[in-house]
Amino acid sequence: MPTRRETEAILRANGERAIELYNQARAEFDAMIADFPSGIPESDGALRIRKAGEAVRSALHAVNEARISYNSFTNRGFLPYDIKFANADSVLAQSNRNTFEFVKRDIELGVTFLQTAKVEKDLGERDASDRSLRDAQKACEGARRFFEKVYSLIPGERESLRIRIAELEAAIEDFRAIRALKEPGGAVYSVRRPA
């Protein structure tokens, strides 16, 4: 979304462009009328004059629209439709990039929680290891969920995310399996995996 100053500059430039087009259309119309010494055009000349007159009216309408848009924005803050949605593609692209970065951070967070769970397990901190493993699983699930919302990135980026999520899921499952096998007393110990 453009800033207020940028929007005013855009609206002012639109108005100036509309005035230039009006002046050009008006000059063409006046030249056409002056081209007929008697003031009565030939049969095909009437059609040319009518079209030139329509061009003048259309240009004048554009000048009025530009003036109304500029005044509505400067006096009341109303943003014209064409400017309001002109940047829709760039907003969507930025939103997509933000979602991509969010998924990357969730994957990194999941890896960090998993590493923490491993260290805590080695230190004998079973409850802390359980919490860290659950947090790793949550981060992985968040990455998976938001991955589905990421689209049309630079070729290979989306696939790279998919692979990293799959690797994190596999690492979590491997840690669960190894930990279950190494539990003292032969008891199978596993963190309940959310459905």
Report pLDDT digits (tens) over 158-172: 888 899 999 999 999
Nearest to 190 by CA among 121, 102, 143: 121
Question: Which amino acid is located at 167 in the chain?
Answer: E
Predicted pLDDT of residue 195: 46
pTM, two decimal places = 0.51
Task: Return the CA Rg of the chain.
Answer: 33
The structure tokens listed for 25 are 């259309």
What are the residue boundaries of the structural domains of the chain, listed by start? 4-84, 88-186
CA 74 to the chain's CA centroid: 27
Which of 10-19, 26-35, 71-80, 109-118 ranks highest by mean pLDDT? 109-118
Predicted pLDDT of residue 15: 85
In this prediction, residues 6-30 reach a mean pLDDT of 85
Q: How confident is the model at residue 111 (pLDDT cuts 50, 70, 90)?
A: very high
Nearest to 36 by CA among 45, 44, 48, 25: 45
In this prediction, residues 89-101 reach a mean pLDDT of 73
Q: Does residue 75 have a pLDDT over 90?
A: no
Q: Does residue 107 have a pLDDT over 80?
A: yes
Lowest average pLDDT, out of 48-62, 72-86, 97-111, 153-167, goes to 72-86
In this prediction, residues 137-153 reach a mean pLDDT of 84
Question: Which amino acid is located at 72 in the chain?
Answer: S
Q: Does residue 8 have a pLDDT over 50?
A: yes
d(CA 119, CA 160): 27
Q: Does residue 181 have a pLDDT over 60?
A: yes
Nearest to 59 by CA among 13, 10, 9, 23: 23
Residue 113, classified by CB atoms within 10 Å of its CB into exposed (0-12), middle (13-18) or buried (19+), is buried
With H, G, I as helix, E, B as strand and everything else as coil, classify residue 183.
Answer: coil
Terminal-to-terminal C-alpha distance of the chain:
41
Nearest to 165 by CA among 90, 123, 102, 116: 102
